[in-house]
Structure 1
Amino acid sequence: MKISTKGRYGLTIMMELAVKFGEGPTSLKSIAEKNNLSEHYLEQLIAPLRNAGLVKSVRGAYGGYILFSEPSTITAGDVIRVLEGPISPVDFTEEDDPAKRDLWLRIRDGIANALDSTTLQDLISFEVKSNVDNYMFYI
């Protein structure tokens, strides 16, 4: 399974909203500019996220989008499934060789476990920690 730009950019949107959680709505324009992405493409991605109940829109001059619930309750798997569909490395049938079918199932379950055990809070905490560790000091 290869995660397309839909899944990757969707996670970017959700991480940006997670960072701003509790601070009010964030515009797609600001997310697009910060991450050098197409605002038009992000508009296409936000609709399924809104329809799935992961984000809600706020209208008005200072409107934008906010997470529907806390970043610690939304997983990467929630986002990827909405934008990419079911998690499966290959399509297989019951007629497939049992050894290969078992391998595909273990791969699928491993990917699902990684995605479902990683919350938006985990992702933004890792990003903040990574940025802190990369400072260089000159004396």
Structure 2
Amino acid sequence: MLISTKGRYALRVMIDLAEHQNAGYIPLKEVAQRQGISEKYLESIIKLLVKANLLNGVRGKGGGYRLTKSPDSYTVGSILRLTEDSLAPVSCLEPGAPPCGQSSECRTLAMWQGLDKIINDYLDKITVADLIQTDSPGDFYVI
């Protein structure tokens, strides 16, 4: 599993908006400048987050984006599953994957299922609120 740039940037956007949530609607240009990310690239990520109802957007003067819920309502896992489509370590565990003809004889399936559960459980325990409150990058190392 490799988290794409889209997934990493989506987390950065959510964290940035959470850190500035008291400022109302935040223009995308400000987020892009603070994060050092192309505004054009962020537009596609923002569209995805708005469509999934993670963000509200307002056009025009005084417009921008803001979180639809409090930062503790968003898990890292839910954001990454939205941007990555799947966090499965192998293709047979991806949502909607066709049944594998080898699953009944697969000696590694239980191992992959265990890893999938660990990944999802871990990422679902971390919220955007946790990420804006942490002082140390190692705070989430222990499961």
With normalisation by structure 1, the TM-score equals: 0.86
2:130 is aligned with 1:122? yes
CA contact (8 A) 1:21 1:71 kept: no
2:64 is aligned with 1:68? no
The whole-number CA distance in structure 2 between the counterparts of 1:101 and 1:119 is 29
Structure 2 residue aligned with 1:48:
48
Q: Secondary structure at the match of 1:22?
A: helix
Q: Secondary structure at the match of 1:86?
A: coil
How far did 1:32 drift?
1.2
2:86 is aligned with 1:95? no
* Runs of 4 or more consecutive aligned structure 1 residues displaced over 2 Å after TM superposition: 96-99
The whole-number CA distance in structure 2 between the counterparts of 1:121 and 1:89 is 26
Q: How does 1:102-113 map to 2 (within 5 A)?
A: 102-113=110-121
How far did 1:94 drift?
5.5
How far did 1:27 drift?
1.5
Structure 2 residue aligned with 1:10:
10
Would you say how many aligned residue pairs link Structure 1 and Structure 2? 129
How far did 1:23 drift?
2.4
The whole-number CA distance in structure 2 between the counterparts of 1:40 and 1:26 is 16
With normalisation by structure 2, the TM-score equals: 0.84
Q: In angstroms, what is the RMSD of aligned CA positions?
A: 1.6
The whole-number CA distance in structure 2 between the counterparts of 1:105 and 1:28 is 39
2:34 is aligned with 1:27? no
Partner AA of 2:48 in structure 1: P
Structure 2 spans left out of the alignment, 5+ residues: 93-99, 138-143
The whole-number CA distance in structure 2 between the counterparts of 1:99 and 1:15 is 40
The whole-number CA distance in structure 2 between the counterparts of 1:130 and 1:60 is 38
Structure 1 spans left out of the alignment, 5+ residues: 132-139
The whole-number CA distance in structure 1 between the counterparts of 2:23 and 2:33 is 19
State which drifts further: 16-25 or 39-48: 16-25
**Structure 1, residues 32-91: CA drift from partner, whole Å, max 9, x if none?**
111211110000101111111100102221211000100011111111111110220111
